[in-house]
Amino acid sequence: WGVLVTLLLLVAACQGGASPSGAPDQAALALPGPSLAAFWGHPVDVADLAPPPHADIAYWDASKAVFPTLHPVEPEEDLEREFADEIFAARPPMTEWEGLGDGPLKRTNFFLMQRAYPLDTLPVGGYAARVAQTQRLTPLEAAETLPKWQNIGPASMLNSSMGAQKVNTSGRVTALVVDPRDSDVVYLGAAQGGVWKTTDGGDSWTPLTDDQPSLAVGAIALDPKNPDIVYVGTGEPTSGLDNYYGAGILKSTDAGQTWTRLGADAFGGMGIARILVNPNDTKIVYAASSMTGTQGPAQPPRGVFRSNDGGQTWKSLLSCSNCFGASDLEMDPRNVNVLYASFWGYGVYKSTDGGDNWGQLLQGLPDPQQFRVGRVILTISPSNPSILYASYQVTVPGQYDGALVFKTTDGGASWTQISTGGYNYCGQQCWYSHTFEVSPNDPNVVYAGGMANYTTAANNQFVIRQVVVKSPDSGGSWQ
């Protein structure tokens, strides 16, 4: 189940006092890094974001880096104008142009661009021909050397995407955990569908949180000593326009039959990227919070928080008010006081005392002052916790925009870029379609997942690259 959960997630996260009111501790640490005005789209107060000097740090050298070559950065094309007729054909006339804003049509443009290739526009009658062809097609058998996938729910997966015509489309799975006592018991979280549970290995599913104040799910965690205790972080912690904010953390002590909402002041209006439960003292719970694509009515500081009483109250450990927030959180399974956190726009931080104190990890990693760093995903090797991987969303102006993977073998003291075999697995959508996992048994076996965004002409044939790739040798080769 360990590897299966990893793959499923790829396709579809001490001591110290707590604030008595449950509100986050306002004495948050200032995060060194760049202004996020360009990243988030509005001015921010950079007074508390000034970086300390790092003259002795040997950052990642972009001039010597090897970038994936299958998806090069190309000049911006005015696809909105090019596909305007197709995009708006089924819509009523607009009386007022609303402006481009963050470019919400770019996903539709990309969808159309793939289907028009190698032409510049969609051929007349192309959509009708595609529908007719789809009805005639039978499922394609994968190569014998590749794993075979079977949908197990919660509902029939009729389509994986949608266009201008409304169709039944599968939802996004954002969290998945397996009961360690019984691998047939699985909890699943959906982007805006709440929490579902199966007790028969996926043959049937039951919704658990339809009556809760938020159906947006970002993370699920089980108490290691008592897996009937379930924590659900509400709010999808990514920057998509249809990612909804949450209402705090839901806790169940009876395997999902009833729920209590916790951390409303600390996490209301945010998304939860990760929840970790200390296996030695399960009263100690950590949560990583961030903003979402839609902003909630409250905007509390976001970052890394700790509860010493099973989620009743929370203390801010590393947070900020002028950034997007924490994108991931990992715990050393052999030393639970060692934590690693990643922040949108900044990079990776480490604590060796359960979160009371933090230091930024910079040696060999991209300098956030020089490059635009977005979402950063972490994964730690359970079999060798000194080995971690950090998958960075990085923009190098004029050269590259996508994922770069870095590896450390010394607990974060130094990092080196690893190859992704020329495969930019999340393209220019690493702010959402972006995940990286390591095998629980072998620290050199890693999986990368994102989106099928590669189109190339090879012998006049149209090629779509894989969504999920695997490397058996720490990125030396991919399949």
Could you read off the pLDDT of 161-170 as tens digits, one per residue?
555 555 555 6
Q: What is the DSSP string of 233-272?
A: EES--S--TTPPP-BSEEEESSTTSS-EEE-HHHHBTSEE
Among 191-195, 272-276, 353-357, 420-424, the range with the most confident prediction by mean pLDDT is: 272-276
| 94: β partners | none
Average pLDDT over residues 475-479: 75
**Predicted pLDDT at 156:** 60
Percent of the residues in the chain that have a pLDDT greater than 70, as a whole number: 62
- Asked if residue 319 lies in contact with residue 293, where contact means CB atoms within 8 angstroms, the answer is no
**Predicted pLDDT at 130:** 59
Percent of the residues in the chain that have a pLDDT greater than 90, as a whole number: 34
Q: DSSP label at 268?
A: B
**Predicted pLDDT at 55:** 54
Flag the least confident range among 241-245, 263-267, 346-350. Answer: 241-245
CATH of domain 2-69+175-471: 2.120.10.30
**Predicted pLDDT at 106:** 62
- Asked if residue 366 lies in contact with residue 60, where contact means CB atoms within 8 angstroms, the answer is yes
Which SS3 state, helix, strand or coil, does residue 134 take?
A: helix
**Predicted pLDDT at 248:** 92
Q: What is the pTM of this model?
A: 0.71
**Predicted pLDDT at 195:** 97
**Predicted pLDDT at 70:** 43
Which SS3 state, helix, strand or coil, does residue 353 take?
A: coil
**Residue limits of CATH 2.120.10.30 in the chain:** 2-69+175-471
Average pLDDT value for the chain: 74
Which SS3 state, helix, strand or coil, does residue 307 take?
A: strand
pLDDT band at 91 (very low <50, low <70, confident <90, very high): very low
Indicate the residue type of 118: P
pLDDT band at 171 (very low <50, low <70, confident <90, very high): confident
**Predicted pLDDT at 257:** 97
Average pLDDT over residues 251-260: 97
Q: What is the Cα gyration radius of the chain?
A: 22
Sheet with 446-449, strands from edge to edge, namely: 435-438, 446-449, 468-471
pLDDT at 239 over 70: yes
Stated as kind and residue range, the H or E segment containing 198 is strand 194-198
Average pLDDT over residues 77-102: 44
Q: Which residue from 305, 329, 300, 375 is spatially nearest to 40, judged by alpha carbons?
A: 375
pLDDT at 272 over 90: yes
Q: At 426, phi and psi to the nearest 5? A: -115, 10
Say which residue, 170 or 74, is predicted with more confidence: 170
d(CA 289, CA 343): 10
* Residue 117: Cβ within 10 Å count: 12
d(CA 312, CA 475): 42
Average pLDDT over residues 161-187: 79
pLDDT band at 289 (very low <50, low <70, confident <90, very high): very high
